Structure 1
């Protein structure tokens, strides 16, 4: 005898399959809900609970992934990519790419050729850092124990971009985070490139307050994907913006601080430094 949970799972599985097969028609919420015999309200809530994102966002991710394949593999025009994806026009394609990929369709198609990146080296309480920015915001921040290696890793992220070693206001505003009230964090703009899942995890990291610590399991719970701790760990490790996106605030369930892309010792120092800042504010 089927349980209600198994019935609900099958409905969501059927909905996902329907969206995958028919995304070029850009089906709306009512249409997909009808296919699985649910009201739009209940379907929206159930899909979000099971998949971790709304049906609309899932459709958008599928559309962008398909458009990316057309732009890269077939070298299609933006109009053709929009048409083949079932979007109403190039403006809609542009908006989806900006919201999901953090870049325009043209920038993606050209592998970053249209992208200009300013970068500079600076000092922080935890060692030298390399910070990079575009006109949209901070796109990269890493600890730079070896400056040439750090720059090479930045170039690997945006292989075809044009680079200028210059300090701009976007970088300066970001670096003030080591001195200013953390409530000012919203003033710092980020320009991120990642998968839908990575962006979801990085957004959750931004919600961890200074002095706070999450486990990988609690972070997975926070994004409504409690069984995805391992995948969450991988996304945390792929964070391209050190400190500003505070992946150092995620520890193991045992209480051990665990590893860190820029060194376990540095992670321990950062956690301790933040705890001291919080205590100063409290006093």
Structure 2
């Protein structure tokens, strides 16, 4: 009777290679192909080699000591990625230092890449286009000048805008308020607030005349109000328990029993990219989740996974913009502004509600 084949101790590693899994559960490793003399990351897009030609190594140093060289496609040593990152950092510095927006051709020439290739690199690494990045730089300059008390015309010109009309055409995009209000540091804007208790602890709702601009929970009342004031440092904050009673009831009811999406008039302020992510979050159905990578793909920018995660972390209206419905690649809950246990509680409640509605 023939002997049974010996079990392959490296079977999990080999499966990760076959799956092209960039973050295998086994932890980081590299594999080498003896017939090609190269070593790769498990997520390498190259065609899978034959198992008998594969060797596994803990790191690049071990693979190189065995006589293998780094694959040029998957860049297992990260050398090409480091060059790309440095080129994009230099481009960002060039944009920051320029009085007016450098052309794409100038940025690409400075980086040493063709324009289309540089544009893809910049977008992949920063999550935005060079133009969007430059608009963010101009908006910061404008906000700083106005906060310092500069006249609107001078601040607009100094920030690199061609005319005041370009700022007034889309004040929310650049400042979240009119230039005059920004010049006064937000003075003149009123945010009404109301506190309540919920199944997840204290809740604070803040709203401008346009809509809800802040929802926080699970911290002390003072801490929640401090968070709101940090986001709107010079606005007038006034208690408005009666005026916001209906909104607060909706929020508390959603936490207790999320039978339907929390629909509220919102006043969202952020960059164009942040608002794009926040709008995508609002399309995730109750009781479902998306990965950060999936959300990045949904907004047409699949490489901007980290930028998407940062936008989720900056979400000012938890629950109404459901950033808790975004999870890690393997379903891990990862971080959450209000605590991972509360994220788990929210998702469990929504899953239960979805199951009951389906039954």
Q: TM-score, normalised by structure 1?
A: 0.72
- Aligned equivalents of 2:218, 2:94: Cα separation in 1: 47
Which segments of 5 or more consecutive residues in structure 1 lack a partner in the other structure? 38-42
1:121 aligns with 2:195: yes
Is residue 106 of structure 1 aligned with residue 183 of structure 2? Answer: no
Aligned: 1:72 with 2:155: no
Whether the 8 Å CA contact 1:130–1:144 is kept in 2: the answer is no
Count of aligned positions: 264
For 1:171 and 1:197, locate their aligned partners in 2 and report how far apart those are by CA, in whole Å.
32
More helix by share: 1
Write the distance in 2 (CA, Å) between the matches of 1:164 and 1:237. Answer: 26
Task: Give deviations 1:173-193, integer Å, cap 9, x for gaps.
Answer: 4753626742x73x522233x
Point out the more displaced range, 146-155 or 94-103.
Answer: 94-103
239, 246, 256: which one aligns with 2:315: 239
Residue 266 of structure 2 aligns with which residue?
189
Q: Distance in 2 between matches of 1:115 and 1:159?
A: 11
1:20–1:171 CA distance, 2 compared to 1 (3 A) = farther
- TM-score by length of structure 2 reads 0.59
1:40 equivalent in structure 2: none
Q: Alignment partner of 1:266: what SS?
A: helix
Equivalent position SS for 1:240: coil
Structure whose CA Rg is larger: 2
The equivalent residue for 1:135 is: 209
Pairwise CA distance, 1:133: 0.7
- Is residue 159 of structure 2 the alignment partner of residue 82 of structure 1? no
* Higher RCO (C-alpha under 8 Å, 6+ residues apart): 1
Contact 2:213 2:317 in 1 (8 A): yes
The alpha-carbon deviation at position 96 of structure 1 amounts to 3.6
Residue 62 (structure 1) aligned with residue 137 (structure 2): yes
SS at match of 1:112: coil
Mapped partners of 2:297, 2:330: distance in 1: 17
Task: Please list, as runs of the form range in 1=range in 2, the aligned pairs for 1:250-261 lying within 5 A after superposition.
Answer: 250-261=326-337
Q: Where does 1:1-283 land on structure 2 (aligned, <5 Å)?
A: 24=100, 47=119, 51=123, 52-53=127-128, 57-73=132-148, 75-167=149-241, 172-173=246-247, 175-176=249-250, 178=254, 181-182=260-261, 185=263, 188-192=265-269, 194-195=270-271, 197-223=273-299, 224-226=301-303, 228-229=305-306, 231-283=307-359
Consecutive unaligned residues of structure 2, counting only runs of 5 or more, are 1-72, 74-79, 110-114
